[in-house]
Structure 1
Amino acid sequence: MKCPDIYSFKLLCRTAIRPLGLNIATLLVTVCLLFACGFSASAEVTLRIGYQKSGYLTILKERGNLEKRLAPQGVTVRWIEFTSGPPLMEALRAGSLDLGHAGESPPIFSQAAGADLVYLASTKPSPESVAILVPKDSPVKRIADLKGKKVAVGKATSGHYLLVQALTAAGLKPEDIQWAYLSPADARAAFARGSVDAWSIWDPFYAAAQKDLDARVLTTGKNLSPFREFYLANRAFVQSQPALIKPILEEIQKTADWAQTNPQAVAKLLAPEYGIDLGIVELAEKRKERYGALPIKAPVIAEQQQVADTYFRLGLIPKAIDIKSAVWSGK
């Protein structure tokens, strides 16, 4: 039963039992409220989750297991789709979301902008799922050949970090190329019409470019970028609903376990959701290793701190940030 308006309910109860005396009346009002609210200590909750098509939250959404798990607690789940991590993190920072997921870069830029977010868990790394692409007949054969060229990439995305790392490994500086900050959809269009010379992007957009545009891989994230996914929450949500965190992470883990052992079923589930060919999804899933909702331990914290320090050293974020202080304690 939905809890009634507390002020109206108090007035009704006190009017009926006022003759019994103040203390007894107060006690009975409390009892009345407990019965009316089903002895629940919390009001009904709407859990707002931001998701991208490249992550396992999409599978969780499609299977509906989280809704089933949380419904007995009076929790309604609302799913909100984003094209990439940066706008999702902005919504999390603004308090428009409670929870979401992103690669290594978006939360760092969001923290640097003042977001009070919490790293809840991470996936395994998946460096082969992010790549720098060039057209099949491009004269660009190695990263060093990108000097002076225009490269499409999403700002503050995993593609951004891969590009930074690849340039550094090739002895180039960020200013040695022309940066075209574009969303995945706009970057694909620019790449297809030849308006950019290269594109740094992740799956399934990466797989789609290979299949549809015959794109050639210049490099993947192997030995350059871990491409790890993080599950993050607004700190206000974590503080107000701490009991919901573990059930959510448990359902994400169950979904990941199922996905890892059922790649064909995953592809069939996601293809219509993505609106792309089944073969493209199968290609993306084949090289994906980003499974699970794993506790964030010291090596992962150090890895993420290195990413943050790299962005700060290059002047891409305005201040140094501390990753460890934003990691969920598990309590």
Structure 2
Amino acid sequence: MTRTLRIGVHSSNPTIDVFSRRPELQQQLAEAGVDFRFLPHPGGVETVALLRAGAIDIAGTGSTPPLTAQAAGADVVYLATSGPRPERGGVAVRTDSGITDVAQLRGRTVALAHGSWQTSSLAFTLERAGLGWDDVTPLDLSTPAAEQAFVAGDLDAWVLPEPTLSAVEQKTGVRVLVPTTDVLTHRSVFFGLRSAAEEQPEQVAAVLAALDATDRWIEANPDEAAAVLAARPGVPGGTSVWRAGVDRRPWGLLEPSPEFLDEQQRAADVLTRSGVLPRSIDVRAALPARSLVPAVSA
């Protein structure tokens, strides 16, 4: 007996977000007889707890939550990734801060969404500058709280993503010390419970195919997609900001590549050394028994 596949939804993963709000994009799953439902939650960081609780089967986040989930003992598998995302953003300071390089962040505060891809981005950035995690004071702040402190000059640095960066630039001068793309390929990562992937591979592959089709729809309908993404309450940036983001992002699901897995392993090792992850992990142990992506992109 097959179970209902539960798909985590949050605004930081535009593919699943758009898929959850466009019934016509869900039709191919219904026609394939796949039983599924959505579980909305605030952001990618909550994905780890939901997977550990067995509350969702398939998720889409940045690069760090899969590492956190695996290190916490959740039996998860990598299902697919996006291509590298060359969007604007990175470790940023106010232009009037006097800080011009990462080495000057020693002893300073750095805001980020701890547990998100921003954790790996900051760890890589610090490592490249010869600093460790303990050389700065990471602050796990919500976007509104970080923005208020940053604009007021009460925060030394912030791992700033789009579309938040564009919104903040309208209020104060921003200097990006190290762009995210200098240290991280910044892919979207689709992963889930091993039990779902191995017990219901055809259904999971069908979900991935539907998500890939959603990406193709976004790419072919950028204005409409941007309006959908900008319409969610609490999401920073208007339609014009999201429209630019749609043009910059790669669309379409890919099999996790050796390059991606190498980067994930390096991130896991850095985060373990820094104490962010509780134990070392073998990233490749989180690959499924067989790839489910060829049904999507072959």
State the AA in 2 paired with 1:203.
E
- Structure 2 residue corresponding to 1:84, chosen from 43, 46, 58: 43
Residue 227 in 1 paired to residue 186 in 2?
yes
Distance 1:255 1:236, change over 3 A: same
Query: Which runs of no fewer than 5 residues in structure 1 stay unpaired?
Result: 1-41
Residue 293 in 1 paired to residue 278 in 2?
no
CA RMSD of aligned residues (A): 2.3
Mapped contact 1:150–1:198 kept (Cα < 8 A):
yes
Matches within 5 A, 1:145-164: 145-164=104-123
State the AA in 2 paired with 1:222.
T
Alignment TM-score, normalising by the size of structure 1: 0.79
State the partner residue of 1:309: 269
State the partner residue of 1:126: 85
State the AA in 2 paired with 1:92.
L
Give 1:236 deviation, angstroms. 2.3
Counterpart Cα distance in 1 of 2:35 and 2:28: 10
Give 1:279 deviation, angstroms. 2.4
Counterpart Cα distance in 1 of 2:62 and 2:142: 15
Give 1:288 deviation, angstroms. 2.5
Give CA deviations for 1:191-215 in whole Å, capped at 9, x if unaligned.
2343311111323333332345553
State the partner residue of 2:11: 53
- Structure 2 residue corresponding to 1:64, chosen from 3, 9, 23: 23
Give 1:260 deviation, angstroms. 2.7
State the partner residue of 1:23: none
SS of residue paired to 1:222: helix
Mapped contact 2:163–2:236 kept (Cα < 8 A):
no
Matches within 5 A, 1:1-331: 42=1, 45-55=3-13, 56-273=15-232, 274=235, 276-289=237-250, 291-328=251-288, 329-330=290-291
Q: Find the structure with the greater CA-based Rg.
A: 1
Give CA deviations for 1:205-259 in whole Å, capped at 9, x if unaligned.
3333234555332221122111111101112222332221111111111222232
SS of residue paired to 1:141: coil
State the AA in 2 paired with 1:51.
V
Counterpart Cα distance in 2 of 1:144 and 1:224: 16
Give 1:302 deviation, angstroms. 1.8
Distance 1:214 1:255, change over 3 A: farther
Mapped contact 2:26–2:210 kept (Cα < 8 A):
no
Counterpart Cα distance in 1 of 2:168 and 2:248: 15
Distance 1:93 1:210, change over 3 A: farther
Mapped contact 2:29–2:210 kept (Cα < 8 A):
no
Please say which of residues 112-121 and 170-179 is displaced more in the overlay.
170-179
State the partner residue of 2:295: none
Counterpart Cα distance in 1 of 2:64 and 2:33: 34
SS of residue paired to 1:324: helix
Counterpart Cα distance in 1 of 2:57 and 2:81: 17
Give CA deviations for 1:159-184 in whole Å, capped at 9, x if unaligned.
11111111222222222222112233
SS of residue paired to 1:128: coil
Please say which of residues 272-281 and 51-60 is displaced more in the overlay.
272-281
State the AA in 1 paired with 2:263.
E
Q: What is the count of residue pairs matched by the alignment?
A: 288
Counterpart Cα distance in 1 of 2:129 and 2:119: 16
Counterpart Cα distance in 1 of 2:215 and 2:46: 24
Return the structure number with greater relative CO, CA threshold 8 A, min gap 6.
2
Mapped contact 2:9–2:17 kept (Cα < 8 A):
yes
What is the percentage of aligned positions where both structures have the same residue?
A: 31
Query: Which runs of no fewer than 5 residues in structure 2 stay unpaired?
Result: 293-298
Mapped contact 1:207–1:283 kept (Cα < 8 A):
no
Counterpart Cα distance in 2 of 1:83 and 1:135: 28
Mapped contact 1:207–1:284 kept (Cα < 8 A):
no
SS of residue paired to 1:180: strand
Give CA deviations for 1:49-79 in whole Å, capped at 9, x if unaligned.
1123122111222222453122245544432
Counterpart Cα distance in 1 of 2:49 and 2:287: 18
Alignment TM-score, normalising by the size of structure 2: 0.87
Counterpart Cα distance in 2 of 1:185 and 1:272: 18
State the AA in 2 paired with 1:155.
H
